[in-house]
Structure 1
Amino acid sequence: MKKYILTFCLLLLITCCALSQGKAIPYGNNPAASRYYNIRGLKMYCEVYGKGKPLLMIHGNGGDISAFTKNIPYFSKRYMVIVPDSRAQGKSTDSRDSLSFEMMADDFAGLLDAMHIDSSYVIGWSDGGINALLLAMRHPDKVIKLASTGANLWPDSTALIPSEWKDERDYYNANKDKEFATAKEKNDWKIFMLDWLQPNVPLSALKRIKCPSLIIGGDHDLIVIQHTVLIYQHIPHAYLWIVPNSPHGTLQAHADEFNKKVDEFFTQPFHNWN
């Protein structure tokens, strides 16, 4: 009888372990992997997964860590993946009125300092792609290589497809005179205004990016393809990848291909990569 009880308990333990391993990790809401860092007067929420060379992932406007749900599992097998919520987004609350991409780029440099990390690989999507570029411009020693997808350098109809720019213009006109009653409404407006007024990066400034850079866009992106090409052309050591049949979320719609291609770019010598 004891033998059968022991066998049953062992099978139960194996089953529980398997179920536990199969359970989805709540990226963006995982106490086991999270910590707050005091960065430049901001309480920044951050989760870390895996071991190896550091890889910083930066999400888009109004998003949070969960944007990388399809990417963290792949990269955390090879890297120490660092995924913060950007200033005033997710769990990184910020009550100040002002917000800029330059401010956020400095936040990410400060986060790496707080973690005692000299330099990191960087993946940025949308606003995070802008932040990746600005991080490499403002803190070049912090970035080993970067992959930026869906980024723009200025906020008008030459950078955004006409329908997206019109939607943003209509939203601005409908809400510009509104008095926001709650802190959340004020914060949401601040996040919207970030993309309505910014970024304002001249093409000539991209020459300050010294690290190898992979510039990515979808062929059905919110960002005009010609604008993505301009970004690529003005970075000294850059490759361009326009993802076929892809919307703005290249890293979500084509996650497997995105993960593999970006990983290859990070691990192979720049001049041998294609």
Structure 2
Amino acid sequence: MQIQKSLLLLFVCMTFVQIGCSQEAKPSYGNNAAAGRYYSVRGIKLYTEVYGTGKPLLLIHGNGGSINAFASNIPYFAKKYKVIAVDSRAHGKSRDDRDSLSFEMMADDFAALMDVMHIDSAYVIGWSDGGINAIELAMRHPDKVIKLASTGANLWPDSTGIIPSYWKQEQIDYNAKKNTVFTTAREKNDWKVFLLDWFQPNIKLSALKTIKCPSLIIAGDHDLIPTEHTVLISQNIPKAYLWIVPNSGHPTLIEHSDEFNKKVDEFFVKPFNKR
């Protein structure tokens, strides 16, 4: 009996050690001092975390988000890419005290960040506002993007670029707060970030023709972005493929992370076949 108790105690101790090691080994994405660093870019400091080695892969999160949005994706891609996860201007740990904010501004930030990091070009994954940023980056700095995967992006702010129910809620939120006098830095920043999606983006379909790189345009089949809008985006990018993810909402890369990671990786690896 004593031997059985001893063996049981040893098993329990080993289990706790294994659990502890597993938890300790998992990085806190977006708050990982070992991988994190600030880069001075265009008058602000962008917070980045770098994982893995290989060809550069830039990850761009959505509105109000941070690097942590890619917690389900970084471990997969870090096995074969140099993953560069960034807190966008005015998001996460990347502060920006100025009043204005635009997608063009952020796209220029990412291009400048790559220059500072001595990276000529990179693969790019963008989600939501990050998907818009990926498209803007490819338009404004075409030599910086090898291939891009953009999920949940829209080109303009209205009920054709965003599903009507969500756009109506945006209108309610805007009208409720538009006359508010914000006093704290956090309140001012949150309002600036909200307004980014209220007034922007404003991308013409014709502008998509300037994108040179192969592009994978993605959305969920019940995304915040109407499927028709996502189809329009893919149809107007010369080297684009379309993927509407079944049984998925806006966070395709989270709800279907395994499939998302594999499919995007396959797209990056395979040569582009002209349609």
* TM class, shorter-length: over 0.9
2:235 match:
233
Q: Secondary structure at the match of 2:68?
A: helix
2:91 match:
89
1:136 match:
138
CA RMSD of aligned residues (A): 1.8
Identity of aligned residues (%): 70
The CA distance in 2 between the partners of 1:114 and 1:255, in whole Å, is 30
Q: Match for 1:55 among 57, 63, 69?
A: 57
Deviation at 1:114, TM superposition (A): 0.5
2:205 match:
203
2:70 match:
68
1:216 match:
218
Aligned AA (2:170): E
1:123 match:
125
Aligned AA (2:135): L
2:190 match:
188
Deviation at 1:25, TM superposition (A): 1.2
2:150 match:
148
Any conservation in 1 of the 2:219–2:230 contact (CA below 8 Å)? Answer: yes
The CA distance in 1 between the partners of 2:274 and 2:168, in whole Å, is 42
Deviations 1:111-138 (A, max 9, x none): 1000000000000000000000000000
Deviation at 1:181, TM superposition (A): 1.7
Aligned AA (1:254): H
1:176 aligns with 2:167: no
The CA distance in 1 between the partners of 2:139 and 2:237, in whole Å, is 10
The CA distance in 2 between the partners of 1:52 and 1:21, in whole Å, is 25
Q: Secondary structure at the match of 2:45?
A: strand
Aligned AA (2:164): P
Deviations 1:48-87 (A, max 9, x none): 0000000000000000000000000000001000001000
Deviation at 1:271, TM superposition (A): 1.4
Deviations 1:133-179 (A, max 9, x none): 00000000000000000000000001110111011000000000000
2:4 match:
none
The CA distance in 2 between the partners of 1:126 and 1:117, in whole Å, is 24
Which consecutive residues of structure 2, in runs of 5 or more, have no partner in the other structure?
A: 1-12
2:161 match:
159
The CA distance in 1 between the partners of 2:183 and 2:112, in whole Å, is 32
Deviation at 1:20, TM superposition (A): 3.0
The CA distance in 2 between the partners of 1:30 and 1:106, in whole Å, is 25
Any conservation in 1 of the 2:38–2:46 contact (CA below 8 Å)? Answer: yes
1:255 match:
257
Deviation at 1:182, TM superposition (A): 0.7
Which consecutive residues of structure 1, in runs of 5 or more, have no partner in the other structure?
A: 1-11
When residues 272 and 21 of structure 1 are mapped into structure 2, their CA distance, relative to the original with a 3 A threshold, is farther
What TM-score, normalized to structure 1? 0.93
Aligned AA (1:263): D
Aligned AA (2:181): E
Q: Secondary structure at the match of 2:273?
A: helix
Deviation at 1:185, TM superposition (A): 0.4
Any conservation in 1 of the 2:239–2:274 contact (CA below 8 Å)? Answer: no
Q: Secondary structure at the match of 1:31?
A: coil
1:244 match:
246
Any conservation in 1 of the 2:150–2:216 contact (CA below 8 Å)? Answer: yes
Deviation at 1:19, TM superposition (A): 4.0
The CA distance in 1 between the partners of 2:109 and 2:137, in whole Å, is 9
